[in-house]
Structure 1
Amino acid sequence: MIAFLRGTVASVEIEAVVLDVHGVGYKVNVTAACAASLSGMVDQEVSLHTHMIVREDDMQLYGFFSTEEINVFLLLLGVNGVGPRAALGVLSHLTPQGLARAVTIEDISALTKVPGVGKKIAQRIVLELKDKFKKLGIKSAETPSQPDETAVAGALDDALAGLLALGYGAGEARDAVQRAMELGKSASVSELIKLALRFLDKSK
């Protein structure tokens, strides 16, 4: 089992990073926010907590900046019907604190906004993780009274960084992200990137 990796950021995709560890490139699946952060760290050394999932015909690594994130990822994997991609998707849309809040107040709608998570899976997540979150000691996030301008600006910057990492020009990337932001100001970084990519594809 590979518990962590420390290496140089070789390249970044929307939800993956390649780390050069002593000349060996490890492709690690990460959240959209993590990928956006790493896009500005190419050729720099970073450390990621990792979890490896091995199947008969596949082997995947999942990486996280914090122990809190990887602990929540492992909790999600323990929920019946939640696979690694869905668990990563949840953490791309909700921070550990945001997920703790959704589970605590049984906010099913917050969970069903995650691609691949239907109502039944959302209900299982709430049912099975409520007590486990208490044991982990993760405090739930406060509910903002209105969208935080700083958070919105941060999401825009992270989405822009993600598109730049994919090779798009600064001008076209910024225009696409701004158009995506107009459609969904409360969208997560991954949702903004996906919306922006649609606009970029149409412009070709």
Structure 2
Amino acid sequence: MIGRLRGTLVDKQPPWLMVDVAGVGYELEASMTTLVALPGLGEEVSLHTHLTVRDDAHLLYGFAREQERALFRALIKVNGVGPKLALAILSGMDEDAFIRCVMDDDVKSLTRLPGVGKKTAERLIVEMRDRFPHWEGEGVTLPGEGQSAAPAAREDPLAEAEAALVSLGYKPAEAARMLGGLEEEGSTEAIIKAALARRMAS
């Protein structure tokens, strides 16, 4: 099992990134929460990882914080929740927000996430409620808060942001609506973060 990687960030195209570790490039998929916390290309990163082995592929997922990986692992144990939906949930809200939704029976907020219908939201609340007491009081915060990231310039950050949102499960038309008027946000990661915040506030 690959539990952690430390190396040089050589590529970042949400939701994918690549880390060079002693000459070996590891491709990872990450939530938008982790991606916005990453430094610029060419800088060193350290990521907690989770490896999923399937018949047709070995898939590696990266997380900025151990807490986010723990929540990812808890989510994929819920009936009907796979890695793709778990990443979509973690992209739409941080750990603290998710815990609040579960503890407050907030089905409405959970159904704003792509791929989460009412039944899935109710299942998440029922199956996850008893898994959180040991997390209370740990000061869960959004990875990268207060840090300055220096992502490399992209030819079309808005198009990359739209592609990333579609990969998370949003329909193309919905992704386009979420991105309306966000051209001035700058980097792909900043645009995605603003779009997700707008979606959760609607």
TM-score computed with the length of structure 2 as normaliser: 0.72
User: Which 5+ residue runs of structure 2 have no aligned equivalent?
Assistant: 162-177, 185-190
1:192 corresponding residue in structure 2: 195
Distance 1:135 1:108, change over 3 A: same
Contact 1:100 1:138 in 2 (8 A): no
Indicate if the aligned counterparts of 1:32 and 1:92 stay in contact, CA closer than 8 A. Answer: yes
Per-residue deviation at 1:123?
0.7
**1:168 aligned to 2:156?**
yes
Equivalent residue runs for 1:15-34 within 5 Å: 15-34=15-34
Distance in 1, matches of 2:90 and 2:137, equals: 14
1:167 CA displacement: 3.1
Letter in 1 for 2:59: Q
Distance, in Å, in 2 between the alignment partners of 1:57 and 1:32 is 25
Matches within 5 A, 1:58-69: 58-69=57-68
Structure 2 counterpart of 1:74: 73
Cα displacement (A) at 1:36:
2.7
Alignment-derived partner of residue 12 in structure 2: 12
One-letter amino acid of the counterpart of residue 99, structure 1? F
**Which structure features the higher share of helix residues?**
1
Q: 1:121-148: CA deviations, max 9, x gaps?
A: 111110011110113336698xxxxxxx
CA contact (8 A) 2:85 2:115 kept: yes
Q: Contact 1:30 / 1:62 at 8 angstroms: preserved in 2?
A: yes
Q: Determine the C-alpha separation between the residues in 1 that align with 2:13 and 2:25.
A: 14
On the 8 A contact 1:54/1:60 being kept in 2, the answer is yes
- The alpha carbon displacement at 1:54 in A equals 0.7
Q: Is the 8 A contact 1:100 1:140 kept in 2?
A: no
* 1:33–1:189 Cα contact (<8 Å) kept: no
Residues of 2 paired with 1:67 and 1:51: CA distance? 11
Structure-to-structure mapping, 1:1-204, within 5 angstroms = 1-38=1-38, 40-137=39-136, 165-168=153-156, 179-180=181-182, 189=192, 192=195
Q: 1:19 to 1:140 in 2, by over 3 A?
A: closer
SS of 1:124's equivalent in the other structure is helix
Note if contact 2:37-2:64 (Cα within 8 Å) is conserved in structure 1.
no
Instruction: Please give the per-residue CA displacement for 1:66-121, whole angstroms capped at 9, x wherever unaligned.
Output: 11111111110110000001001101011110000000001111111111111111
CA distance in 2, matches of 1:51, 1:138: 25
Offset at residue 65 of structure 1 (A):
1.0
| Rounded Cα–Cα distance in structure 2 between residues aligned with 1:128 and 1:59 | 27
Looking at structure 2, the residues matched to 168 and 37 of structure 1 have their Cα atoms a distance apart, in angstroms, of 20
2-structure distance, mates of 1:138, 1:83:
28
Worse-matched range after superposition: 7-16 or 131-140: 131-140
Superposition deviation, residue 178 in structure 1: 7.0
Matched residue count: 168
Q: Which structure has the greater CA radius of gyration?
A: 1
Per the normalisation by structure 1, the TM-score is: 0.71
CA RMSD of aligned residues (A): 3.3
Matched-pair contact (CA < 8 Å) for 2:10–2:42: yes
One-letter code aligned to 2:181:
R
